[in-house]
Structure 1
Amino acid sequence: MELTPSAHVDSFCRDNLPAQADWPEFRFEVPELTYPARLNCAVELLRGSIDRFGPDRPCLVTDAGTWTYGDLARRSDQVAHVLAGDFGLVPGNRVLLRGPNNPWLVATWFAVLKAGGVPVTTMPLLRAREIDDLVELTRPSLIVTDHRFAADLAALEHDVPVLVYGGEYSGDLTARAAGQSGEFAWVDTAADDVALLAPTSGTTGIPKATMHFHRDVLANADTFGRYVLKPTQDDVFTGTPPIGFTFGLGGLVVFPLRFGASTLLIEKASPEELADAVERHHVTVLFTAPTAYKALLASGKAGALAKLRRCVSAGEHLPVATWEEFERATGIRIINGIGGTEMLHIFIAAADDDIRPGSTGRAVPGFEAAVLDDAGNPVPDGTPGRLAVKGPTGCRYLADPRQKTYVHNGWNITGDTYVRDVDGYFWYQARNDDMIVSSGYNIAGPEVEQALLRHPDVLEAAVVGAPDPARGTIVHAFVHLRPGATVAAAALQDFVKQAIAPYKYPRVIDFVTELPKTPSGKIQHYRLREMLAARTR
């Protein structure tokens, strides 16, 4: 595949793309995926909606006020002037962004892209060592940070200029931007210029960054967004995932702006606060993780969710018990989906009457999904195997040998074990490394987790395999109970035996007050395995 001439003066991104022989096969099989050779996704998202609906529509909403589409266009142009004029940003430079979900983070993301730069948006909870790792990996020319996170950057080992916004700092970005022109001559990037470097959420503890083109940013909106989510310009989006997580970037920025809707940006919220915000701002589309949906129900605030028409769950598997409980309480059928940083967003999902509770759904229009054996051959329907996917987006790791592991024979191999049924629905079994072999039996850890989660006193559960001299490996569960609940391990074991085959029950249960998670909310099973390994030393 011959790439279009790049607009990037700094060639770092193209220089560090994996060899094209190691790319997945890309497919553009729905009409909306035909893009011009020259494309700046930031300009298309903003200018496209302004051209269709005008500049005065609400765009970014907070409790402090509302920015219209025109406000965001003007302020992002002003920030682009600061980046290019005051800091010498040239097309292709990387800019590391750090902050909670608020309008200035979004404006800066748009500004970097308009100036031809490449944003590296990070989770706000990362610490200095983790930021250092990403700086080493992505080599940014500038870090832009919310003032509340600026102090952490003093501990960085790398010397990178830092621009702060929102505080009393000298040279604050918002003050600099106020004096700039509200019109910026945006850079005419190629559709296949790298638009963003997306750090993975770190379930293995070893950082990677995925490289996505300008056309990729629009492609997920034009597949999952257009064909499954089906938003309108009157929708109000909100959610809890950070914009530094591609689930949040799509759900809170790209999708609403692609369709002229508005988005409520929430920096941090308890389940009760989230429900109140949904009610107060008449939110209609909610993006969050399975644990958050369960917590919303536990908060007793189901009545505040009455205006919602779409709820989307991703980041980890949605237990069928949570799906059923949420539908009973609210009448809303959660759209379950699987995506990934490597694919940018969701590629298997179902909505409305197409949903089969417990299933992740079917391949989103524009994508093809299959279940393969270890040799890369399709397995019969009903047989567990490795989930593989092709579509308009796909894995391109930044200078990482794991590219050859993730991509095989043109397929993106997600690392999940799935079963496909005869109707094309995909049913999650486990992460490939979460299959537990105990006394010769294959036990999917998530199946045991879902059985535990059906108990009314269990808030969260995580299951891993633990070494055992008699059985080779046993099922070991970590359980976080609801506040004030008390239940014996034996009672939970008996409960699981009644729910699934008795040989799958957890032989050991540890009660914990919290489970280790990534900033995006995924449970870090590898840390639980490390904890068990440390006990045996």
Structure 2
Amino acid sequence: MELTPSAHVDSFCRDNLPAPADRPEFRFTLPELAYPPKLNCAVELLRGSIGRFGADRPCLLTDTETWSYADLDRRSDQVAQVLVRDFGVVPGNRVLLRGPNNPWLVAAWFAVLETGAVPVTTMPLLRAREIDDLVELTRPRLIITDHRFTADLAHVALPVVTYGADGPDDLAAQAGGVREPFAAVDTAGDDVALLAPTSGTTGKPKATMHFHRDVLATTDTFARYVLKPVADDVFTGTPPIGFTFGLGGLVLFPLRFGASTLLLEKASPEELADAVERHHVTVLFTAPTAYKALLSSGKAAALSKLRRCVSAGEHLPVSTWEDFHTATGIKIINGIGGTEMLHIFVSAADDDIRPGSTGRAVPGFEATVLDDAGRPVPDGTPGRLAVKGPTGCRYLADSRQKNYVDNGWNLTGDTYVRDADGYFWYRARNDDMIVSSGYNIAGPEVEQALLAHPDVLEAAVVAAPDPARGTIVHAFVHLRPGAVEDAAALQAFVKQAIAPYKYPRAIDFVTELPKTPSGKIQHYRLRELVAARNRQQ
């Protein structure tokens, strides 16, 4: 498919799209997916919804304030003016966003898109080295961050503007003096709208490139046909907006359908349940481990107002689904998505749910199971999950594009079985990614963090089963002679080197690691050891 003329003055994103032969095959099989050539997804999500549902409807909620749709529109306009006037942002520039889930982060996200620039959504817990990698990869013009998350940015040679603090330099103060509306840039539907970072199995970050039409496609496939929101819904959840799972569930889906969203910066299971009850939340997005923790907290009664619960990020065990249904009467909507695909593409809701199954291909998508040669396997046979639809993987200038896209199919890195009725059943990950409590953690990245400790000679990391988190990071560490076996010290060291959620929750100290004759560590033998221990428990 030929790209339409771009509105980007800065051509960085277009210049770094994958080669045409390496791009996935896109399919637009639903009438809602016939988007116009000119499209700014921020305008459609915000001003389009204002036109359909009204400007005074509640939009962004916290425990202390409520922003209407008009409030978000005005403040995002003001921020957009500041970005252009004070920082010279032009269409196509990248702007890195960093902060917990709160209204000003959402306002900044919309403002960047209105200017025709490209938000780079990041996790607030990333450390300096991880931020450096993203800055080098995406080359942003500036960074917008919550004022509480500047410590790892002091060394970055970029303008940094903060929000949420007092003072004349705060973004809210600068924006507050702007009175005139902002004329949003008329971007192309196939201009890049966002760069969504994701961990590679090697620990080297990748950035997935999604168009303006892709952003809307997630709302007009999974949200419209499976989730089925209504304007009176109140959304909330635990995934950060820096994850595409959180971006969709807490921003894109509610705003597309005129609903409101409760933004929680952080919440324990008990606090989450209380917030759901206090704000009469009806739609909840979180990971399988969080649903299990909600039940363990004894707060099932607080969830009575929920009508929709969505689980993704890791496999949802049938026992968790059944226990949650028994306690609440709610049928969790399971799904698989991914940063590469932007959001969920296999799922099922209501009476279409088969507990233990991930579901069927979401309307607008096609999914199948392939063998190692790229051929479809018979139903009932394990193989590689592959998908096509209106969204797909485009890595920013990354040779790993060829690993994810094969003959037009997006290969998710998961082993699945499809049954005769088209339901997909998860078997395992087929790469080195560890999925723990919904977070993707690259084993080699944790190994590199451990190896930076002066007492560590060798380190190997694998996934280990865990009843609370699904899996955890389990490290095997070979220390230098005379070093003290101090797991807590190593864990603290890793937390300072990389995002804290990536640290190894279990550490075995060993005198040697299993290796091939060429000296390569045999991770599979360590996985077998962990599995054997688990069976004995």
* Category of TM-score, reference length = shorter chain: 0.7 to 0.9
Give the Cα–Cα distance (whole angstroms) in 2 for the partners of residues 24 and 80 of structure 1. 33
Q: Determine the structure 1 residue equivalent to 2:213.
A: 215
Aligned to 2:266: 268
1:242-296 C-alpha deviation (Å, 9 max, x unpaired): 0000000000000000000000000001100000000000000000001111111
CA distance in 2, matches of 1:270, 1:262: 22
From 508, 513, 535, give the equivalent of 1:536. Answer: 513
2:233 aligned partner: 235
The aligned residue for residue 118 of structure 2 is 118
SS at the partner of 1:188?
coil
Query: Using the alignment, how far apart are the partners of 1:369 and 1:281 within structure 2?
Result: 37
* Aligned equivalents of 2:20, 2:417: Cα separation in 1: 30
2:367 aligns with 369
Conserved? CA contact 1:146–1:165, under 8 Å:
yes
Question: How many pairs does the alignment contain?
Answer: 472
Distance in 2, matches of 1:364 and 1:150, equals 40
Q: Which residue of 1 aligns with 2:422?
A: 424
Q: In structure 2, what residue type is equivalent to 1:214?
A: H
Q: CA 1:258–1:535 in structure 2 vs 1: closer, same or farther (change >3 Å)?
A: farther
Are the equivalent residues in 2 in contact too, given 1:314–1:338 (CA < 8 A)? Answer: yes
1:413 aligns with 2:411: yes
- The match for 2:17 is 17
| AA at the equivalent of 2:52 | R
- The corresponding residue for 2:59 is 59
Q: Distance in 1 between matches of 2:69 and 2:150?
A: 28
8 Å Cα contact 1:45/1:257 also seen in 2: yes
SS at match of 1:107: helix
Structure 1 residues without counterparts, runs of 5 or longer: 436-444, 454-459, 465-475, 483-509
**SS, match of residue 83 in structure 1:** helix
Q: What is the CA deviation profile of residues 455-506 of structure 1, one whole-angstrom value per residue up to 9, with x for unaligned ones?
A: xxxxx9x9x9xxxxxxxxxxx9846577xxxxxxxxxxxxxxxxxxxxxxxx
Aligned positions of 1:420-499 closer than 5 A: 420-433=418-431, 478=464
Give the 3-state SS of the residue equivalent to 2:261 in structure 1.
strand
Answer yes or no: is the 8 Å Cα contact 1:194–1:213 preserved in 2.
yes
CA displacement 1:279-334 (0-9 Å, x = unmatched): 00000000000111111111110110000000000011111111111111111110
Q: Please state if 1:154 is matched with 2:131.
A: no
The CA deviation string for residues 17-54 of structure 1, in whole angstroms up to 9 with x for no partner, is 01111000000001100000000000000111100111
Aligned to 2:187: 189
Q: TM-score, normalised by structure 2?
A: 0.83
SS in 2 for 1:143: strand
Summarize the Cα distance change of 1:233–1:534 in structure 2 as closer, same or farther, 3 Å threshold: farther
1:171 to partner: Cα distance: 1.1
Alignment partner, residue 305 of structure 2: 307
1:40 matches 2:33? no
How has the CA–CA distance of structure 1 residues 529 and 193 changed in structure 2, closer, same or farther, with 3 Å as cutoff? farther
SS in 1 for 2:4: coil
Which one-letter code corresponds to 1:87 in the other structure?
Answer: F
Whether 1:171 and 2:169 are equivalent positions in the alignment is yes
TM-score by length of 1: 0.83
In the aligned structure 2, how far is the partner of 1:535 from the partner of 1:200? 32
Counterpart for residue 324 of structure 2: 326
Q: Indicate conservation of the 8 Å contact 2:167/2:173, yes or no.
A: no
How many angstroms does 1:530 deviate by? 9.7
Distance 1:203 1:314 in 2: 19
Contact persistence 1:315–1:520 (CA under 8 A) = no
User: What is the percent sequence identity of the aligned residues?
Assistant: 77
1:294 and 1:47 map into 2 onto residues whose CA distance is 38
Deviations 1:224-244 (A, max 9, x none): 000000000000000000000
Residue 201 of structure 1 contacts residue 520 of structure 1 at CA under 8 Å; is this kept in 2?
no
After TM superposition, give the deviation of residue 532 of structure 1 in Å. Answer: 7.9
Amino acid in structure 1 at the alignment position of 2:108: T
> What does 1:278-289 correspond to in 2, within 5 Å?
278-289=276-287
Tell me which residue corresponds to 1:142. 142
In structure 2, give the amino acid aligned to 1:305. L
- Where does residue 382 of structure 2 map in the other structure? 384
Q: CA deviation at 1:167?
A: 1.1
CA distance in 2, matches of 1:410, 1:21: 9
Question: Using the alignment, how far apart are the partners of 2:142 and 2:301 within structure 1?
Answer: 45
C-alpha spacing 1:59/1:201, structure 2 compared with 1 (3 Å): farther
What's the secondary structure of 2:415's corresponding residue? strand
Distance in 2, matches of 1:142 and 1:330, equals 46
Deviation for aligned residue 1:121: 1.0
Moved more, 90-99 or 193-202: 193-202
